[in-house]
Amino acid sequence: MTSPLERVETEIKRLHRFLEDWLSGTVPDTEDALEKHLTSRLHPEFFNIQPAGIVLTRDALVRQIRSGHGASPDFSIHIRNVTIRHQIDAHRVIATYEEYQRGAKKSARANNARLSTALFDLTAEDAIWHFIQETWLPEANHAEENFQF
């Protein structure tokens, strides 16, 4: 049986790999791809608090990602330090992870680092995201060696 940490880490890396492929334009620009790899994994009441403090609903985030297909050809993401911070019950966990982005054309910084906190529901076969709160990591985390993936 897969542990909650393994399920969460797998889902975090899977979603970010899709975002990498979508934003670099290496996957087809189709509604089916977005539905399968993104929309279906977000709870209907999902929300995202971005590092600058902007709150996006599920629909707003999906629209933003939709419009970015192929906008960052050299885009890559590296996920580190996935940790379960709290197991609410048998199916819900709060996790944190570090996300290092390189080549983000539509970001204030092409190379950026953030700490994310997310709530997951592990009831279904696929982990479902309820929310993500992203916080910029301090400049010390933006050292070049952190972006050698």
- pLDDT per position as a tens digit, 94-106: 999 999 998 776 6
Asked if residues 85 and 117 have their Cβ atoms less than 8 Å apart, the reply is: yes
Asked if residues 41 and 129 have their Cβ atoms less than 8 Å apart, the reply is: yes
Report pLDDT for 103: 78
Report the distance separating Cα 43 and Cα 9, nearest Å. Answer: 18
CATH of the domain at 111: 3.10.450.50
Question: Which DSSP helix (H) or strand (E) runs through 9?
Answer: helix 4-24
Q: How many separate domains does the chain show?
A: 1
Query: Which amino acid, one-letter code, is at 95?
Result: A
Q: Which domain holds residue 114?
A: 4-147
Report residue 118's pLDDT band, with 50, 70 and 90 as the boundaries: very high
- Give residue-wise pLDDT tens across range 57-85: 999 999 999 999 999 898 999 999 999 99
Report the distance separating Cα 54 and Cα 87, nearest Å. Answer: 27
Q: How many CA atoms lie within 13 A of 1 on its CB side?
A: 3
